[in-house]
């Protein structure tokens, strides 16, 4: 077996094929925010998931070439704000090249423990400190321990699937006939 054939056999998946398959994996849409000595910043992300509940930890993936990367790296704190169906425009603002001040002026924010911006009206907000960073390929995986939470019940969530936004409705009240 040649070296070239060995490389193909171990790598297995072409980059575009992987991206196309990942587009078929639905995910919550989140705005990740920070504020601290390096300043205030935020970006849209779907690469967020729970790691463990003891201690309450989640992970956030951040491209090292993103303009916000140095700010998050220095601040070492963040808030994961899970978006509602009413936040599509806000998601697009935080996902593009819009200046930070314009991004944050498009919504109402508060803070909890870390000082990171918490989106008022989000489905859930996880106010966290970054406890560990692992570099994989082009991204850093930020392991984040929740210091405070805010949740809003019965608000429809926003997910991203097949390269489009979709609305996700949770439990609806049961109509009872009397």
What does DSSP say about strands 157-161 and 139-151: parallel, antiparallel, or unpaired? Answer: unpaired
Provide the pLDDT for residue 169: 86
> What residue segments make up the domains of the chain, in order of their start?
27-160
Reduce the DSSP state of residue 166 to 3 states and report it. strand
Q: In the CATH scheme, what is the code of domain 27-160?
A: 2.30.110.10
Residue 134's φ and ψ, nearest 5 degrees, are: -120, 125
CB 112 within 8 A of CB 120: no
**pLDDT by residue, tens only, the chain of 178 residues:** 344 444 444 568 999 999 899 899 889 999 999 999 999 999 999 999 999 999 999 999 999 999 999 999 999 999 999 999 999 999 999 999 999 999 999 999 999 999 999 999 999 999 999 999 999 999 999 999 999 999 998 899 999 999 999 998 876 654 445 5
With 0.75 as the threshold, say if the pTM is over it: yes
Q: Confirm if 144 and 126 have CB atoms less than 8 A apart.
A: yes
Interatomic CA distance for residues 139 and 143, integer angstroms: 13
């Amino acid at each position: 077996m040649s070296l070239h054939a060995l490389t193909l056999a171990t790598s297995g998946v072409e980059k575009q094929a992987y991206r196309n398959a990942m587009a078929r994996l639905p995910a919550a849409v989140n705005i990740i925010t920070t504020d601290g000595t390096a300043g205030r910043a935020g970006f849209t992300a779907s690469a967020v998931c729970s790691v463990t509940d003891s201690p309450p930890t989640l992970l956030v993936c951040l491209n090292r070439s993103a303009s916000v990367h140095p700010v998050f790296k220095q601040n070492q704190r963040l808030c994961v704000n899970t978006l509602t169906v009413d936040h599509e425009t806000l998601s697009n603002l935080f996902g593009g090249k819009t200046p930070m001040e314009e991004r944050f002026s498009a919504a109402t924010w508060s803070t909890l423990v870390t000082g990171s911006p918490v989106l008022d009206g989000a489905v859930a907000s996880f106010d966290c400190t970054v406890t560990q960073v692992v570099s994989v390929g082009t991204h850093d995986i930020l392991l984040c321990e929740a210091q405070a939470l805010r949740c809003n019940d019965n608000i429809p969530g926003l997910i991203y699937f097949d390269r489009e936004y979709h609305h996700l409705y949770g439990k609806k009240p049961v109509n009872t006939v009397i």
